A and B are shown apart, each in its own frame.
Chain A
């Protein structure tokens, strides 16, 4: 008799088990067709049936071949729990179920001999989020009236660009007692305090990226919200580079320099300056690691935009040729400032780290006044693809690090001179206005967000291991894939509409937070407006402890 092989992969080893009810299934095949991971397949089972035909029991048995849906049992085509099968099943006959006994982290490494890669965010269980232990607790009552969120006007804008110390402003008093500008000042753009984070065309499907760009343009042109979108490191379609909508785009350059060949070639044809340049040094979700675009996703149009062959595209972990902060300031900032004739603010994005304050100090003291923003990305940020060990175990939470940087600036009287932008899991609970507002009161000028935008578009992934397959190029909802049939599942206009509506809702919610503290402009650094229900959080962030 053949012994069973215990090393064989079975559904019980995998993170999700398919729950299938043959009695409800009409064998329409929708689920199998829809599963982008090929994690289910149609199979034939041999079934024994006992029956009796006469007036008295005369049990007989019959064997028949019955078509059924079965889970695929291998580590390549395993179920990610995305639930698309359940979505398309007309009869509720099938769906994934989380398997608490999964051996996936072990068998994948044992069988693959390679590290596990995935997309999404940190998936380790963590305690309540720090931001949820903070409340907007300083409410205007008798001495100063609350404002009226509906009736009063609010100034909800944040600076992007280097801000001069007041005594260095090149302003002189003219003959009529009016201040006159006597020299050039660094460019500063006042924009909406939420930037749509840097997700590249390549990481995102062309429909998704276009939907975000559409939403950005609509928010600006129709809704009056000056929202900016960062391109991510992957280039920008030439048509957009040459259009007037370029002014809403922040162009990103990272260590791979992907897409910059086309951007530079398009520069003589640009009719508008871009909103800014963001030099990406690091990313919160995978600090110390470069970009990772798997070959599966390097479709023809991606090859064209980036000027690369179909291969894994790995951005190096650091910018080759930059060895120090001082040098980066001189080389990268100066060259980008010069490239756009000092009309476009240039900022830097780094992963939050135990050393962030030193880096920030170094930049804020730069004598050239050219660093136009410090983008700080925390561990809860999302990514299209990274090694799981990086995602789950490396990085630094954003809240205290942002606060540390702000207080470092305060200690030197330099707050606001390099605008602070924070990200990393903000809006994780779906409520970005509250998270952003608290970060602003802690010292951020604004926030940036990526993963939440995907969720607005219909991303089914979550932080408990659901889906997280952005790296595979098989995104079941067409967001992070370049496969035609999958991409066409996504309706870009619907996505743009969702993003626009979310921003409009968030805008109202910002006002509902500003009104009770009696502020009509953003309370940057107004930590006295916050209280914490956790003593250690209060101590660390220098907030009032309440219970």
Chain B
């Protein structure tokens, strides 16, 4: 089973906090990997918030291919950060030769382009890179987006932390939003892409659960957007549905919940917005999820949220202090990094609510 966690803070936070959050829950996951997505970056990336950063794990040949493609498309590298690794003997990690975090300036013709054109360009570039590096596993392109960094690795999360020197906090590598998860896709083949959090166009999602409507979701999503690919994990469906509802249809976040876990018909019948809810349920029937799930998501504006399946079959808890909110599968994770908080204000979301945290750390609870 997965354990998932997320930190959102007014201050920049180092990934060691995410490691600690997950480490205390390690009896609940199987220590088979570590993956995280960082939004709203601090440290050395703080000055480049408007420019896309490429997060990639690859071979030497992969680096060259990717850089050539980007240069040819007109992207110009403005910054590069290579994590210092300490490859000690005995570490449980199946590392790739290179970890690339490079920030680029947009091609000249895009510098004054509108937001949508830039967003489309970045997705298309990531898809091109992913395809180019797919053969012989030359590399894995996790994200290419402004103010976002993704790291995914196979192995024991503790050892992955050691390998990347993530246990020691520093000020160079930080973010205000970090989502993390410690398990590879052990139900099926180990594929690097299959570890959540998943990322697309500013949206991040990770989940603890089993989406039994996976096939229905996949068959429908494949035709909805060119970026809906991979499907290495059933949890990717949550990301794509989130992206579709919020980005493509332009509906408020609260409707994501109505799409994935629609109200029972007899409840809809008594609602004032019955007409809209039925229309949603009808037209997006194939994005409904089933089975036990807890989802954590991050929107492009760095709003963070969590919600559960319609029967609340998986746990989640939200804990907070003045300057930090933490979402975690188990409360022990929050105890670890927010030991002095008032635990009486912890929120255990129920099956019909969305808990959303905005950039002022205001926590809103929306009842479906």
Contacts and interface: CB of A to CB of B under 8 A. Distances in A.
B213 A523 contact: yes
Interface in A173-227: 173, 177-181, 185, 188, 190
Given A155-B265, A526-B213, A527-B215, A518 B252 contact: no
A415 B279 contact: no
B276 interface: yes
B284 interface: yes
Interface stretch (B62-70, B105-113, B243-251, B334-342): B243-251
Contact of B275 (A145, A181, A518, A521): A181
B279 A169 contact: yes
A439 B222 CA distance: 23
Q: Chain A, interface size: which category?
A: 35 or more
Interface in A396-425: 410, 412-413, 415-416
Interface in B273-298: 273, 275-276, 278-280, 282-286, 288, 290-292
A518 B212 contact: yes
A185 B290 CA distance: 27
A163 B215 contact: no
Contacts of B250: 173
A159 interface: yes
Interface in A490-526: 517-521, 523-526
A416 B279 contact: no
Interface string A525-546: 1111000000000000000000
A147 to B, nearest CB: 7
A190 B263 CA distance: 14
Contacts of A152: 311
Contacts of B286: 415-416, 525
A143 B1 contact: yes
B281 to A, nearest CB: 9
Given A164-B283, A173-B250, A155 B264 contact: yes
A177 B252 contact: yes
Contacts of A140: 212, 291
Contact of A163 (B1, B249, B282): B282
A525 B215 contact: yes
B210 interface: yes
B302 interface: no
Interface in B177-206: 187
A520 B224 contact: no
B276 A177 contact: no
A166 interface: yes
Nearest to A172: B250
A185 B279 CA distance: 8
Contact of A413 (B187, B222, B292): B222
A430 interface: no
Contact of A145 (B213, B216, B283, B292): B292
A165 interface: yes
A173 B222 CA distance: 26
B81 to A, nearest CB: 38
Contacts of A153: 264
A460 B278 CA distance: 43
Contacts of A526: 212-213, 215-216
Nearest to A407: B219
Contact of A190 (B213, B216, B265, B310): B265
B78 interface: no
B255 interface: yes
B226 interface: no
B313 interface: yes
B249 A166 contact: yes
Nearest to A522: B285
A188 B212 CA distance: 26
A413 B250 CA distance: 20
B254 interface: yes
A171 interface: yes
Contact of B220 (A143, A163, A415, A519): A415
A47 interface: no
Contact of A147 (B214, B264, B283, B311): B311
Contacts of A159: 282, 285
Contacts of B210: 143-144, 518
Nearest to A170: B279
Contact of B288 (A177, A412, A517, A521): A521
Nearest to A410: B219
Interface string A133-162: 000000010011101000011010101000
A219 to B, nearest CB: 16
A173 to B, nearest CB: 6
Contact of A415 (B219, B255, B280, B310): B219
B223 interface: yes
A167 B248 contact: yes
Nearest to A414: B223
Most chain A C-beta atoms within 10 Å of own C-beta, residue among B213, B273, B280, B285 = B285
B209 interface: yes
B311 A188 contact: no
Given A143-B187, A152-B311, A166-B284, A528 B249 contact: no
Nearest to B219: A410
A165 B275 CA distance: 16
B197 to A, nearest CB: 20
Nearest to A164: B283
Given A143-B187, A145-B313, A518-B290, A179 B215 contact: no
Contacts of A527: 215
A152 B313 CA distance: 12
B219 to A, nearest CB: 5
Given A416-B286, A523-B213, A144 B291 contact: yes
A518 B222 CA distance: 24
Given A143-B187, A143-B210, A166-B249, A179 B276 contact: yes
A519 B213 contact: yes
Contacts of B214: 528
Interface in B226-253: 244, 248-252
Nearest to B258: A179
A143 B279 CA distance: 32
A167 B249 contact: yes
Nearest to B288: A521
Contacts of B251: 171, 173, 179
A169 B251 CA distance: 12
Contacts of A525: 215-216, 219, 286
A524 B216 contact: yes
A157 B265 contact: yes
A181 B276 contact: yes
A497 B265 CA distance: 27
Contact of A188 (B209, B249, B262, B282): B282
A179 B283 contact: no
A149 to B, nearest CB: 13
A520 B290 contact: yes
Interface string B166-178: 0000000000000
Contacts of B212: 140, 144, 517-519, 526
B224 A413 contact: yes
Nearest to B276: A179
Given A145-B313, A185-B275, A413-B224, 20 more contacts: A143-B1, A144-B210, A144-B313, A163-B282, A163-B285, A178-B252, A178-B273, A179-B255, A179-B273, A179-B276, A410-B219, A413-B222, A415-B219, A416-B285, A518-B291, A519-B291, A521-B288, A521-B290, A523-B213, A526-B212
The 3 closest A-B pairs by CB, nearest first: A413-B223, A144-B210, A144-B291
22 contacts: A144-B209, A144-B212, A147-B311, A153-B264, A163-B285, A164-B279, A167-B248, A177-B254, A179-B273, A181-B275, A181-B276, A181-B279, A190-B278, A415-B219, A416-B282, A518-B212, A518-B291, A518-B292, A519-B213, A519-B290, A523-B290, A528-B214
Interface of A: 140, 143-145, 147, 152-153, 155, 157, 159, 163-167, 169, 171, 173, 177-181, 185, 188, 190, 410, 412-413, 415-416, 517-521, 523-528
